[in-house]
Each structure stands twice: as structure tokens, then as C-alpha cells.
């Protein structure tokens, strides 16, 4: 059974979180993500979960990580400036393999920028923003339905891979209202328990250690310092540090094509749009308006780890056009993975999304 | 308390600890463990949390689940632990720099929320782990690597700050006052809401060496002779008598029962 609703994107994100069993939300209000905190404040107590408005974004992600260690499915939501503040603790979550979900309803930057306007300027920040070498998972919805679906998926991927996951939405999708269907129940992938006799950070074949929930007798020591399999600091051991960081990166990167979530349309086309988030909608309109033209479209719902093989599905591609609400952050990633094909960044700033007309003009220009 | 009981709280495979010879942090750890043990808490129901610095290494030596977090943020992490599972007993170790400089905002808000946890600050008046830089608690005139001509900024009174911000229980003692410290931590552990215990500790390596307190005993003796009981201070004030500038107060600053968060149902 499903329930049909007409709902705002930010509200759908909350509903997805609640359906996924989120029982801890720590946050700090910031436009355009605030409706998420407000709705969680309203709904969480009725579900027996915890909502707490922390003193800032640094505290919010700190509390989320602390809650996660008690076994909670924990989430925070923010926007650009708050996301920047969270970077140090997000690196901590990567190093300590703490599952949590961070929703970034992106707005125009740098700095305070355009609080009420849309942007996708944090796409590289979520990948490279924290210090050291890390790998994370980032999901991008392009509809209100996907706000729900991908929020659920964010929790499952976070728990499966023991990593912070990022729902990299934006003001457009966060504030638009659409019809969505909410299922009675969703699939929930639980955290793996540690196997008897295993050390706190002893990885299994999938490179992921079981999660020693606090209060269950594991007596785990958790530190952001380089640590051995017991979890004890061993910060001056070069081999151990390299092995640890390589595992943290490889456990995600080696599964990049399994994690991938995308639509590939007209895979025999010569001109192909690559999109994620709101520009997906404009490209779909172009394809709808011009069925006679064979225009390809790759829509990525998961952008990190970058699924480079999805580009190879377009066997005749001569040109990839990448419309995005920044000056070419993911276009650069596309460029890294093609040889001989042209990559045209269509970066756009200011807060409005591309029009189907301007996208179609670009197709004609290329052809 | 028997030796056997005492040892069960420590990770034997992690010893010896990294603290310098003569450091006061070990005393505070021992006082804390003694108080925790006296509460009858189980190892598996207790969580120690810390930030970054000398003090923050303490949880790594204790057998419970423990979270060694980022600089200044221990109270934010601890808030998440306690609010998500109020059945866990949460004790936070922190230092003066960790708590009052980078972590100042979290400190006042944790006190304001009055979350049911015990926060123990090992105040050595300096940044020990990074090699002896000035902290908000370095006394005026004292030498550190970033106050080579003597500290000029006024000192934070962490205990008074915790009282003003709303903590239910606040006390200050020193590593000389072992019996008083154990008792204060015990009261902190059993008082619902946030308990803040400031423990002045000697740091022979980073502080004493630069401030004419080279011998551990000298700094401990300094704390003994310069600690003034709150009651005595109040009495002197009533009598209109002057309080010497280099004295600091010790004792119980407040014990009250404001509504608290994270108390088990």
C-alpha cells in the first residue's frame, strides 16, 4: 500500500528519514534547509525519537555522530555555510566509520551568498572538503519523490558502508511541491554486528568491520587518530596509516558500480546530456519536446563515488554536455573519464535553473 | 577499594599511558575511576568521551566504550550519546584549552541544557600536548610559548562560568585535594543534570618548567597553599578583608536541581 501526498521536497526528505527509521536528528536552522529541522521537531517526538536543536552546525554533526554510536539512525540537515562548518567532524566520521546522513539543501555561494536561491556549488566540497584522503557517498534527487526515496537510500548506504552519506539536494528541489507516493514500509539494511572474537576495527572480506554499538558490551575505543584493529591510537606507524586510509577509500571506491544509481536514455546518441538534480528536469523536457532528435541523457542519482562506466554506455557519444548550477564541478569529473570525446560544461550561477530552450540551442550548436 | 576492582576499569593492554612523569592527569583519572566504581556502575553501561589534548587521551585507557573526538567538541558528541541513549552513564574528560577556548560555546550550552552527564576538566593552565602554548586559563604574567613576555589576558573562571550557564553541580579542587576531588566527582555523578568538576593539575613539562615550578612537588605545594576554600573567601569578604590576588577558590560552587535533559526515565 502507498499513500499519495502533495508535498514539499524538504518535507519528503523528513518522511523518507522517518520511514527509514531515523530516530535522532540534531540540527541548526539555515535557509533553505530549515523546513527539515522544523518538521523533524514536529514529528520526531511522536515517533519516540530525539530532536535537538544544537548551538551550531559543528555541534549538530558532533551530536549526530555521538548518537550513531549508540546505534541510532542519525541525521542532520543544513545548507552551504553550515556544511562547511561540519567538514572536520565529517572527516572524523569517515575515520571512525560512523554511519550518518547529512542533507545539504544547497544555496548560492561562496559565503552567505544567495540564501534563498538554488545552486550546486558544494559538489566538490562533499567529496574533498574534509582534510586527508576520504571517499564518501553522495546522492542527488531531481524530484520530490526522489527526495523521499534517496533519503531512505542514504540511511541504508550509510549503515552498509559505515560512512557518512550526503543527500546533496538544492533549494529548487527542497522547496518545490509535487505529488509523491509514500509506501507503508521501506527496505531497511541494518548495520552489521561484530563477529565474535573480531577486534573493534578488524575488517571482514568486504573491507567493513562490524559495528560495536555502545552499551552492548563491546568496550570499543573510538578515535579519530590513526588506529590499529583494536581501535587504539598508533599515529606514527606509516604502514598502518596507509593500510587504514586505503581501506577506508577502497571499501567505497571498489563498489562504485554496485552503488551507482542512474538513468541512461538514448544510449546510441551522439550528443549526450549528463545531469544530476534540477537540471535533469530541464533535459527531460528537451527530450520530450524533440523526440525526433536522438539526444542522449545520463541522469546520475549517485554522483560520488563517480560511476565512470555509465559514460561508456553511450557507445556513439561524441559530445557530453554537462548543465549544472556551478562553474563546472562535475563536468571536470566527466572530463577525467572520457578520451576523444568533447565535454562541454554548461555552468550556471545566480539561482535559476537552465531552460529547456537554452539546452536545445546548445545541442544544435554542437551538431 | 581493592586493587582488583581498580584494575578492571583500565585497559591493561594500553598501559603505560603517555602522560609525562609527574603529570596530574593520572591522579584525576584515578579519582574519577574510584568515584565511578563507588557508584556501582557497570563497565558496559558507562561511556567516556573526550576532545583533544592531554586530558582527552584518558578515555583510551579506560575499559568502557569510549569516544575520543575532535578538538573542543567532546560535549557535542557526548550530548548525542546521552540524548540517544539516556540509560548510558556519560563522563567527559576535557582540558582547559579544549573546553574553554575552541569548545567554549559547547560548554555554555551543555550547561544551559543541563544534560545529565559529568564533565571533568583537567585544568593545567596551558596547552600541554602541543607543547605549552597559552590557554584562556594561563594566569596573568605566566610564561608560555605564545606568551613569552607573560600572559596578559584575563583568566576564565570555568567553575563560575558553569554556574552562570546553568549546570546543576559545580565544584573545583586540585590534584593535591585527592579526597575532596573523589567526593566531588561522586556527588557530580549522582546529581541529575550537568555536573562540572574542575580539577587544577600540575604540568611540570609545559607549565612548571617555564614558571619556576620545575619540581612536581613545588607545583602541588603551590596549589595547596594558594587554594582558598569558598567559605573562607566569603567570610573574608564579609569582614571587608582583602583577598590576595594569587589565591584561587576551591570547594562546591553550587548544588541544585534545575530540570535536566537526558535523565533516564
pLDDT value of residue A202:
96
A262, A302 contact by CB (below 8 A): yes
- C-alpha distance from A169 to closest chain B C-alpha (Å): 25
Residue A138 to residues A77, A163, A341, B167, Cα–Cα distance (Å): 14, 11, 26, 40
Q: How far is CA B187 from CA A84, B97, B103, in A?
A: 40, 25, 24
Crossing angle of helices A279-289/A356-366, nearest 10°?
Answer: 70
The single-letter DSSP state of residue B245 is T
Q: Which three cell numbers stand for residue B196?
A: 562540572
Please give the Cα distance from B118 to B74 (Å, whole number): 12
As a whole number of angstroms, the distance between CA A191 and CA A184 comes to 22
Name every residue in B having a CB less than 8 A away from some CB of A.
Answer: 11, 13-14, 43-45, 47, 49, 59-60, 63-70, 73, 76-85, 87-88, 105-106, 109
Packing angle of the helix pair B25-38, B178-190 (nearest 10 deg)? 50
Contact (CB, 8 A) for B92 and B49: yes
Nearest CB to A224 within list B47, B63, B69: B69
Half-sphere exposure of residue A353, counting CA atoms within 13 Å on the CB side? 20
Provide the pLDDT for residue B1: 45
Instruction: Verify whether the Cβ–Cβ distance B68 to A63 is below 8 Å.
Output: no
**SS3 label, residue B215:** coil
Chosen from B77, B114, B165 to mutate, greatest number of chain A CBs within 10 A? B77
Residue A194, CA distances (Å) to A49, A98, A197, A198, A266 in order: 25, 14, 8, 7, 45
Question: Which pTM does this prediction carry?
Answer: 0.97
pLDDT digits (tens, 9 = 90+) for A140-164: 999 999 999 999 999 999 999 999 9
Q: Which residues on chain B are in Cβ contact (under 8 Å) with A65?
A: 69, 77, 80
On whether ipTM exceeds 0.90, the answer is yes
Distances (CA, A) of B173 to B103, B197, B226, B245, B247: 21, 8, 11, 18, 13
More confident residue, A304 or B245: A304
Q: How crowded is the C-beta side of A332, counted as CA atoms within 13 Å?
A: 7
pLDDT of A296 reads: 98
Provide the mean pLDDT of chain B: 96
Task: Determine the 3-state secondary structure of A5 from DSSP.
Answer: strand
Please list the pLDDT of chain A residue by residue as tens digits (367 residues): 899 999 999 999 999 999 999 999 999 999 999 999 999 999 999 999 999 999 999 999 999 999 999 999 999 999 999 999 999 999 999 999 999 999 999 999 999 999 999 999 999 999 999 999 999 999 999 999 999 999 999 999 999 999 999 999 999 999 999 999 999 999 999 999 999 999 999 999 999 999 999 999 999 999 999 999 999 999 999 999 999 999 999 999 999 999 999 999 999 999 999 999 999 999 999 999 999 999 999 999 999 999 999 999 999 999 999 999 999 999 999 999 999 999 999 999 999 999 999 999 999 999 8
Of B77, B84, B88, the CB nearest to A62: B77
- Residue B4 predicted with pLDDT over 70: no
Sign of the Cα torsion A194, A197, A200, A204 reads: negative
Q: Report residue A166: phi and psi, to 5°.
A: -115, 125
Cβ atoms of A167 and A13 within 8 Å: the answer is yes
- Please name the residues in contact with B9: beta carbons below 8 A apart, sequence gap of 6 or more: B33, B36, B37, B43, B62, B63, B64
Q: Is the pLDDT of residue B124 over 90?
A: yes
What integer is the mean pLDDT of B62-86? 98
- Interface contact B70-A224, CB threshold 8 A: yes
**pLDDT per position as a tens digit, B226-237:** 999 999 999 999
Q: Nearest Cβ partner of A66 from B63, B68, B78?
A: B78
Looking at the complex, report in whole angstroms how far the Cα of residue B236 sits from the nearest Cα belonging to chain A: 39
Residue B115 φ/ψ, nearest 5 degrees: -70, 140
Q: Is pLDDT at B3 greater than 70 in this prediction? A: no
Q: What's the whole-number mean pLDDT along residues B112-131?
A: 97
pLDDT category of residue B6 using cuts at 50, 70 and 90: confident
- The C-alpha atoms of residue A231 and residue A30 are separated, in whole angstroms, by 35
Question: Residue B172: pLDDT above 60?
Answer: yes
Amino acid at each position: 500500500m502507498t499513500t499519495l501526498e502533495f508535498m514539499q521536497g524538504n518535507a519528503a526528505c523528513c518522511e523518507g528519514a522517518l520511514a527509514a527509521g531515523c530516530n535522532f536528528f540534531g540540527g541548526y536552522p539555515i535557509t533553505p534547509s530549515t523546513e527539515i529541522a522544523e518538521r523533524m521537531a514536529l514529528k520526531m517526538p511522536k515517533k519516540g525519537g530525539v530532536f535537538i536543536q544544537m548551538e551550531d552546525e559543528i555541534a549538530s554533526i558532533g551530536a549526530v555522530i555521538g548518537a550513531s554510536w549508540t546505534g541510532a539512525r542519525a541525521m542532520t540537515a543544513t545548507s552551504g555555510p553550515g556544511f562547511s562548518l561540519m567538514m572536520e567532524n565529517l572527516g572524523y566520521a569517515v575515520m571512525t566509520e560512523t554511519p550518518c546522513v547529512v542533507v545539504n539543501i544547497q544555496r548560492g555561494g561562496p559565503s552567505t551568498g544567495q540564501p534563498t536561491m538554488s545552486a550546486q556549488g558544494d559538489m566538490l566540497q562533499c567529496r574533498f572538503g574534509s582534510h586527508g584522503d576520504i571517499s564518501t557517498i553522495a546522492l542527488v534527487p531531481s524530484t520530490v519523490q526522489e527526495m523521499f526515496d534517496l533519503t531512505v537510500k542514504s540511511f541504508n548506504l550509510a549503515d552498509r558502508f559505515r560512512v557518512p552519506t550526503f543527500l546533496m539536494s538544492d533549494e529548487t528541489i527542497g522547496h518545490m511541491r509535487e505529488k509523491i507516493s509514500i509506501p507503508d514500509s521501506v527496505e531497511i539494511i541494518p548495520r552489521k554486528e561484530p563477529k565474535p572474537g573480531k577486534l573493534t576495527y578488524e575488517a571482514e572480506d568486504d573491507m567493513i568491520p562490524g559495528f560495536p554499538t555502545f552499551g552492548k558490551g563491546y568496550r570499543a575505543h573510538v578515535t579519530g587518530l590513526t588506529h590499529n584493529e583494536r581501535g587504539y591510537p598508533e599515529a606514527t606507524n606509516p604502514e598502518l596509516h596507509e593500510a587504514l586510509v586505503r581501506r577506508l577509500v577502497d571499501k567505497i571506491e571498489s563498489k562504485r558500480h554496485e552503488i551507482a544509481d542512474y538513468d541512461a536514455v538514448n544510449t546510441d546518441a551522439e550528443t549526450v546530456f549528463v545531469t544530476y538534480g534540477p537540471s535533469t528536469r530541464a533535459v527531460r523536457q528537451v527530450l520530450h519536446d524533440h523526440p525526433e532528435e536522438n539526444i542522449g541523457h545520463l541522469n546520475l542519482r549517485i554522483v560520488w563515488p563517480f560511476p565512470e562506466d555509465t559514460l561508456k554506455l553511450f557507445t556513439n557519444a561524441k559530445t557530453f554536455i554537462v548543465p549544472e548550477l556551478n562553474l563546472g564541478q562535475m563536468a571536470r569529473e566527466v572530463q577525467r573519464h572520457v578520451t576523444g570525446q568533447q565535454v562541454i560544461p554548461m555552468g550556471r550561477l545566480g539561482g535559476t535553473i537552465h531552460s529547456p530552450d537554452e539546452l536545445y540551442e546548445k545541442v544544435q550548436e554542437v551538431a | 577499594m581493592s586493587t582488583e576492582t581498580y584494575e578492571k576499569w583500565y585497559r591493561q593492554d594500553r598501559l603505560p599511558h603517555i602522560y609525562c612523569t609527574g603529570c596530574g592527569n593520572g591522579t584525576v583519572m584515578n579519582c574519577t575511576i574510584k568515584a565511578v566504581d563507588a557508584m556501582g556502575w557497570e563497565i558496559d553501561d558507562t561511556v567516556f568521551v573526550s576532545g583533544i589534548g592531554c586530558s582527552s587521551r584518558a578515555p583510551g585507557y579506560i575499559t568502557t566504550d569510549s569516544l575520543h573526538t575532535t578538538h573542543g567538541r567532546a560535549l557535542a558528541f557526548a550530548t548525542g550519546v546521552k540524548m540517544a541513549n539516556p540509560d548510558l552513564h556519560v563522563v567527559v574528560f576535557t582540558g582547559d584549552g579544549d573546553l574553554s577556548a575552541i569548545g567554549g560555546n559547547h560548554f555554555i550550552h551543555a550547561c544551559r541544557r543541563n544534560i545529565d552527564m559529568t564533565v571533568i576538566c583537567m585544568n593545567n593552565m596551558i596547552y600541554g600536548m602541543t607543547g605549552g602554548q597559552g590557554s584562556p586559563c594561563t594566569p596573568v604574567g605566566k610564561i608560555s610559548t605564545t606568551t613569552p613576555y607573560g600572559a596578559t589576558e584575563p583568566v576564565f573562571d570555568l567553575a563560575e562560568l558553569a554556574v552562570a550557564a546553568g549546570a546543576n553541580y559545580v565544584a573545583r579542587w586540585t590534584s593535591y585535594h585527592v579526597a575532596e576531588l573523589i567526593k566531588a566527582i561522586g556527588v557530580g555523578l549522582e546529581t541529575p543534570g550537568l555536573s562540572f568538576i574542575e580539577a587544577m593539575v600540575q604540568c611540570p613539562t609545559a607549565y612548571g618548567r617555564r614558571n619556576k615550578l620545575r619540581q612536581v612537588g613545588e607545583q602541588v605545594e603551590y596549589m595547596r597553599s594558594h587554594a582558598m576554600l569558598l567559605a573562607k573567601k566569603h567570610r573574608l569578604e564579609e569582614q571587608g578583608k582583602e583577598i590576595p590576588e594569587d589565591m584561587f577558590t576551591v570547594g562546591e560552587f553550587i548544588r541544585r536541581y534545575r530540570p535536566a535533559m537526558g535523565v533516564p526515565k
